[in-house]
Amino acid sequence: MKKPATKIFTGSRIRHQRTRMGMTQSALALQLGISASYLNQIEHDVRPLPLPLLNALCDIFSVGVDYFSDTEEARGIQALREILADPVFDMGAVKLDSMQAAMRVAPDLCMQFVRLYRAYLLRHEQAAVPLVGHAPHPDTTTPDAPDRVEPYEAVNDWVQAQRNYFDEIDRTAERQAALMRLDEGSPREQLGRYLMDHHGIRTEIDLGLSQRGLMWHMDRRNRTLFLSRIAPSESSTFWMAQALGQIEHQAIFARIIRRSRLRESEARGLARVYLTNYFAGALLLPYERFRASAHEVRHDLERLQRHFGVSFEQACQRLSTLQRPGSEGIPFYFLKTDIAGNILKSFSANRFTQSRFGGPCPLWNVFRAFTTPQQVQVQLSRTTDGALYLNVARTVGRDNISYLDRPRLAAVVLGCSIADAGHLVYSAGLDLNDPRMIIPIGPGCRACTRENCHHRALPMVGHRVDTDNEGRGIAPYRTAL
């Protein structure tokens, strides 16, 4: 377990977890073996959090040590910086140290501010682009209706708050994989046999399924699981694991969702879909066996892909979930995007945070991956907060099945701190200490603070533009002094 080198003041996070579990200060203090007054001082950042208590809190709350680092604070500060770059605010009036203080003292209030800004953007987008042929949603068009966050974003925030790790599901899937002996022979055959033997469900290929926009469909009346014929075998295996999760573990999913703060039925439904996917990945890639294999092959994604019979994307995403307390893997971030820069998935177990309110940086190697399909792109990068990362990117998805077929073009990127880069095969041959190897990346151009960037597409919002016609800078938009 990683140990922090500096004093940790993390009272708000302790208070949040304690409240989430319905514990009083006295009850938690009793478990920690300290006085309630001492715990009260820690929760109000009067005293730092000692290392022995840090480990005990990780066990009580079932979180990793990184939860109590400055990772969440860094993400919140980045979100505030992007929001305050909007012309509606006077960005110069709020300094970085003020944002840091706000995130430290009142993180919940800051997150409500982020939520409010999201709702503000949603209102403006819907007003600008009405949905032709659709009745307006009363929650988003009535002036007196409360602002709402899109269910997809609410679920993504919830997953991120859990550090993309769900212990109960992970351990259940790990036990079931051992019971089914998925490591003995073909996982797809083992799953098909299990579904038939335990539930009387047979698996068939439906030639017309994809034409209806479906990849798989469960016909419970006829006890048949239909799979699309256009999918590669690893995808079909994953869908079979999803179906098994829906059949056997709905009670676990429901229990986890009840503990969340998700209230809208649509958000809770999306959360159930996510947990079903999480179970499928955890079943096909059991935690300890996968973590040990990843360490053994130095996180070589293609070797892991072949060894476990999964896709490149599935191997990447599973690596981003290895945050079991006391048995953590490398903290990775994982992101999937299409060629237009739309973020399809995004999870982070380290301090990396994607741009929330602007397009991603074009210098990121996830976009260069589109120019070399199916080939791995490796990049060392530095974000605007000074953090260094090793990024591994590649396109993913199926091949065309006909001339008129238009499969989605997407790419994934997996990244870790440069401190962990030596544990990855992708660091071979790289001089991690050569600053010339490091590519500066940032949030969307409007919030990025790098002035002399050849790739800047928009001026830095919140600053005056230099309109001097007697010379031209490296970037088309220069900030006036």
- Res. 169 pLDDT band, cuts 50 70 90: very high
Closest CA to 275 of 192, 167, 413, 189: 167
pLDDT for 147 equals 45
pLDDT for 333 equals 93
Q: What is the mean pLDDT of residues 65-75?
A: 67
375 has pLDDT over 90: yes
Q: Are 440 and 453 in contact (CB under 8 A)?
A: yes
Q: Which residue has the higher pLDDT, 342 or 211?
A: 342
What tens digit of pLDDT does each residue of 195-218 get?
A: 999 999 999 988 777 777 788 888
Q: What is the mean pLDDT of residues 130-156?
A: 55
- Res. 135 pLDDT band, cuts 50 70 90: very low
- Res. 477 pLDDT band, cuts 50 70 90: low
How remote is the C-alpha of 384 from its chain's centroid? Answer: 19
Alpha carbon distance 28, 22 (integer Å):
10
User: What pTM value is reported for the model?
Assistant: 0.74
- Res. 67 pLDDT band, cuts 50 70 90: low
Burial class from Cβ neighbours inside 10 Å (0-12, 13-18, 19+) for residue 251 reads exposed
What tokens appear for 443 in the block?
């949030």
Alpha carbon distance 397, 230 (integer Å):
11
Q: What is the mean pLDDT of residues 298-304?
A: 97
Q: What is the mean pLDDT of residues 262-267?
A: 90
Q: What is the mean pLDDT of residues 52-81?
A: 75
pLDDT for 129 equals 47
133 has pLDDT over 60: no
pLDDT for 5 equals 44
Residue 73 burial (CB count, 10 A):
19
Q: Which amino acid is at 273?
A: V
- Res. 476 pLDDT band, cuts 50 70 90: low
- Res. 466 pLDDT band, cuts 50 70 90: low
Residues 6+ apart with CB under 8 A from 239: 215, 216, 227, 231, 280
